[in-house]
Amino acid sequence: MATVFLDLDGTLTDAGEGILNSVDYALRKLSLPGLSGDNRWIVGPPLWPSFAQLGVQNEDLDRAVGFYRERYIETGWKENKLYDGILDQLAKLKEAGYTLCLATSKPHSYARKITAYFGISNFMSFEFGSELDGRNSDKPALLAHGLAVVGAEGERAIMVGDRVYDIQGAQANGMKALGVSYGYGGLAELQEAGADAIISDPQKLAETVSGLLPL
């Protein structure tokens, strides 16, 4: 069985607006300076270390995440859009015989709202995300869990994502890693992480997966 694990934010959908607006909201609720400059790095990693990097004290990290979710659940998750041609690419992979699985650091309770809203869930056999307390937000752990649930071997699986965390998660589990530079990590980050291949066009997804992981 050839299994494809796919990140959500920055890979299937362009989620930056809603995430950054919600982070900014949380910072201001804590009476901290709001976001300024280029903050693309925030899109992808788990929230707790991101808020710590933004200057939130350890004792306030849970509050920051709570404020973030307050806005994200209400508004932020819809400040989002599919990348061009993504549903068509998922359809091609599914029709070819690949098992498709979501693998996101986002809590699965939020991720499933997004995948249902945008029609992504129609192509997914499994949808894996983190727990609200942060468990499985680490990509190596999340993918290990996903492989075990699916019953797939690492050498017959591939992870598709836009950040170094996706590549590291794949490598930790003996999987192929496909980087997408159209997302939030960029070409240099994915090259340095050691992705097996990198695409800049979402409409090359199915073709490149098939080349890296033949059925």
Query: How do residues 6-30 score in pLDDT, each as one tens digit?
Result: 999 999 999 999 999 999 999 999 9
List, in order, residues 6 or more apart from 60 with CB less than 8 Å away: 30
CA dist 37 and 172 (Å) reads 33
Mean of pLDDT values over 72-92: 96
Instruction: Work out the percent of the chain whose per-residue pLDDT is above 90.
Output: 89
Residue 7 designated active-site: yes
Model confidence, pTM? 0.92
**Is residue 134 scored above 80 in pLDDT?**
no
**Is residue 45 scored above 90 in pLDDT?**
no
List, in order, residues 6 or more apart from 207 with CB less than 8 Å away: none
Domains of the chain with bracketed CATH: 3-14+81-212 (3.40.50.1000), 16-78 (1.10.150.240)
Q: Are 54 and 23 in contact (CB under 8 A)?
A: yes
Q: Are 56 and 30 in contact (CB under 8 A)?
A: yes
27, 33, 39, 44: CA torsion to nearest 10: -20
Q: Are strands 3-6 and 99-107 parallel, antiparallel or unpaired?
A: parallel
Q: Which candidate, 160, 162, 188, places its Cα nearest to that of 176?
A: 160
- Residue 135 binned pLDDT confidence (cut-offs 50, 70, 90): confident
- Residue 176 binned pLDDT confidence (cut-offs 50, 70, 90): very high
Q: How far is CA 154 from CA 53, 169, 195, in A?
A: 32, 11, 15
- Residue 131 binned pLDDT confidence (cut-offs 50, 70, 90): confident
In tens, the pLDDT along 154-165 reads 999 999 999 999
Mean of pLDDT values over 112-136: 92
Catalytic residue among 7, 24, 162, 196: 7
Mean of pLDDT values over 151-176: 97
CA dist 118 and 114 (Å) reads 6
Instruction: Work out the percent of the chain whose per-residue pLDDT is above 70.
Output: 100
Q: Name residue 30's amino acid.
A: L
- Residue 191 binned pLDDT confidence (cut-offs 50, 70, 90): very high
**Is residue 44 scored above 90 in pLDDT?**
no
**Is residue 136 scored above 80 in pLDDT?**
no
Mean of pLDDT values over 32-57: 92
Mean of pLDDT values over 30-42: 92
H or E element in which residue 99 lies: strand 99-107
CA dist 146 and 95 (Å) reads 21
Q: How far is CA 151 from CA 3, 97, 126, 156, in A?
A: 10, 16, 11, 11
CA dist 108 and 131 (Å) reads 7
